[in-house]
Amino acid sequence: MEDNGVMTLAPVHRLPPELIAAIVSFRPKSSPLLQLGHVCSTWRYALHSTPSLWTHLAIKLPPQIDDDWMDTVNNAVSLLGLWVKNSGQLAIFFTLIEQGICAHDPMRRLIYALRQHSTKWSGLKLVVCKSTYDSFRRRLFGSRLQSLKRLVVDIMNEESASYESSTFTDHLVFTPHLTSLMLDNAHADEEYVPTLTWAQMTELSLNFNLSVLPWRSFVHLYYNSNLITDVLSQTTNLVTLSLGLMEDFDDSLEVVSSPHQIVLPHLTTLRLRHTCFRSRLHDYFDQLTLPRLATLEIDSVARFKNGQGELGAERLCALIERSGCSVRDISTDGGALVSLLEHCPELRQLAFFPPRNNISRTSSLESLLLWLTPNGDEHLNSMRLPQLRSISLGSTYRDAPFDDIIDMVKGRAAGGLQKFMLMLEYLPLVDPGRKKEVKNLEERLEELCECGEGSFEGKVDVVTVYQPAYISIE
């Protein structure tokens, strides 16, 4: 462009990189970054010269179904080089997703390219089969991953695969900045969890799949309690911890407790995943002391009750009492909910979405409503959970106790409740006759909004698909 005979830059070239990045951030998520470069050469140059746009790369590899698969991997390697070039001095978070079992030889070429630029990766997310994960461990994890801060591994089941543990000489020992490690569906074997400096971890997620282990590995894990207790005893700087054991076993098997109490002085969030009762994950509660615990989440498949009583709930309450912590966020389900709430007087937000297939969902909701409903105006000062300001509930048309819900909301609104939301699951073939009750509930909530002394917001959402994973209390 000429202005008085002087060449000037196109408008896009005069924009600061931060503004270009902000403009690109508004693109649809389904629109790849490279597609924007097809607009014109000017925009293509602007995109390629803005390093902050090239800090995340996700590649999905299809299963090997024809001879073109080698070309697919070669294209992935080319993309890798393009991102490395355009990101400049910035590090990259790289995601690899296998959509099926891939051939090993072409995959090695991709791993070699990652190793060649090992200092560029701020994060690695690998959703891969076991054999591919083995290749990463052998060929990449021994590199000097100086910039790596986060590693996420989700291991897919692999047909006709060998699940025997292997001996690896390369481990994550050159990762001075790695603070977040997540292993999902990993094989609970000491040789399979990467060796690293556990003391530097601030976020750790270990969700083990026991169904793929030979019996001797299961006995080794449970009767010696090596894997989990040894790792936790070294992670004294953890802030967030997620544990999961994904399999049922006979109740007669017991976990041998560690002789030492595990104290995690900085931990604020504990998540327990896939905690079916016979996985015995709750046996580790007695070994933990968490003085700063503020958030406790328990997967909805947890079964607290067995022939001996609610052992899981009792142990969780004992954990809270022993730690002397002030829990402000709990997620769980079933009959253990009320007993846990007794230990959380400072809660400000509560959301209860019972699992879809929980046969006790109605009784759990009714028990919660009864426990939360004040007895009268004279008891507002001594009301349970006096700091509670937001409540969200989930139910179905058929099971929703509308009168109990409105009584609870009305009583809590007088005591400071500011927000209430009810999510209803609608089954057209089962619930054709309750629309009037829902309409009545909406009208009464509107009356509370209009007549309330303070700010109050009430809402009813009707959905046709309702399958939350767990409840959340903040």
Let me know if residue 407 belongs to a domain.
yes
Read off the pLDDT of residues 369-401 as tens digits, 9 standing for 90 and up. Answer: 888 988 765 566 678 888 888 888 888 777 788
CATH of the domain at 379: 3.30.870
Let me know if residue 227 belongs to a domain.
no
Residue with tokens 């080089």: 81
Let me know if residue 391 belongs to a domain.
yes
Q: Look at phi and psi of residue 274 and say left if phi exceeds 0, alpha if psi is from -120 to 50, else beta.
A: left
Beta bridge partners, 296, equal: 270, 330
**Run of H or E residues at 25:** helix 17-25
Beta bridge partners, 461, equal: 423
Q: What per-residue confidence (pLDDT) applies to 92?
A: 95
Q: What per-residue confidence (pLDDT) applies to 280?
A: 65
Let me know if residue 128 belongs to a domain.
no
Overall number of domains in the chain: 1
Alpha-carbon distances of 229 from 110, 257, 287, 297, rounded to whole Å: 36, 9, 9, 20
Let me know if residue 467 belongs to a domain.
yes
- Which of residues 379 and 82 earns the better pLDDT score? 82
Q: What per-residue confidence (pLDDT) applies to 38?
A: 55
Q: Distance between CA 53 and CA 83 in Å, rounded?
A: 9
Q: What per-residue confidence (pLDDT) applies to 415?
A: 81
Q: What per-residue confidence (pLDDT) applies to 277?
A: 55
pLDDT > 90: percent of the chain = 13
Residue 335 reports pLDDT greater than 80:
no
Mean pLDDT score of the chain: 73
Domain containing 409 equals 347-474
| DSSP for 108-166, written as a single string | HHHHHHHHHTGGGEEEEEEEEEHHHHHHHHHHTTTS--TT--EEEEEEEP-TT------
**Run of H or E residues at 60:** strand 56-61
Question: Tell me, what amino acid is at 153?
Answer: V
Instruction: From 283, 285, 292, 184, select the one nearest 238 (Cα to Cα).
Output: 292
Read off the pLDDT of residues 430-443 as tens digits, 9 standing for 90 and up. Answer: 555 667 777 888 88
Residue 238 reports pLDDT greater than 70:
yes
Instruction: From 314, 312, 186, select the one nearest 245 (Cα to Cα).
Output: 186
**What value does the mean pLDDT take over residues 133-158?**
84
Q: What per-residue confidence (pLDDT) applies to 284?
A: 74
pLDDT band at 90 (very low <50, low <70, confident <90, very high): very high
Let me know if residue 228 belongs to a domain.
no
Q: What per-residue confidence (pLDDT) applies to 150?
A: 94
Q: What per-residue confidence (pLDDT) applies to 380?
A: 61
Read off the pLDDT of residues 220-234 as tens digits, 9 standing for 90 and up. Answer: 444 344 677 778 888
pLDDT band at 85 (very low <50, low <70, confident <90, very high): very high
Q: What per-residue confidence (pLDDT) applies to 93?
A: 96
Residue 94 reports pLDDT greater than 90:
yes
pLDDT band at 203 (very low <50, low <70, confident <90, very high): very high
Q: What per-residue confidence (pLDDT) applies to 169?
A: 38
Beta bridge partners, 448, equal: none
Task: Enumerate the H helices of 153-297 as residue ranges.
Answer: 215-224, 226-234
Long-range contacts of range 74-83, CB-CB < 8 Å, 24 or more positions apart?
74/106, 74/109, 76/110, 77/109, 77/110, 77/113, 80/110, 80/113, 80/114, 80/117, 81/113, 82/54, 83/54, 83/57
**What value does the mean pLDDT take over residues 414-436?**
74
Let me know if residue 435 belongs to a domain.
yes
Let me know if residue 382 belongs to a domain.
yes
Residue 69 reports pLDDT greater than 70:
yes
Instruction: From 85, 149, 146, select the one nearest 113 (Cα to Cα).
Output: 85
Alpha-carbon distances of 353 from 15, 24, 118, 396, rounded to whole Å: 47, 36, 43, 11
Q: Distance between CA 127 and CA 155 in Å, rounded?
A: 6
- Which of residues 346 and 14 earns the better pLDDT score? 346
Residue 216 reports pLDDT greater than 60:
no
Residue 29 reports pLDDT greater than 70:
no
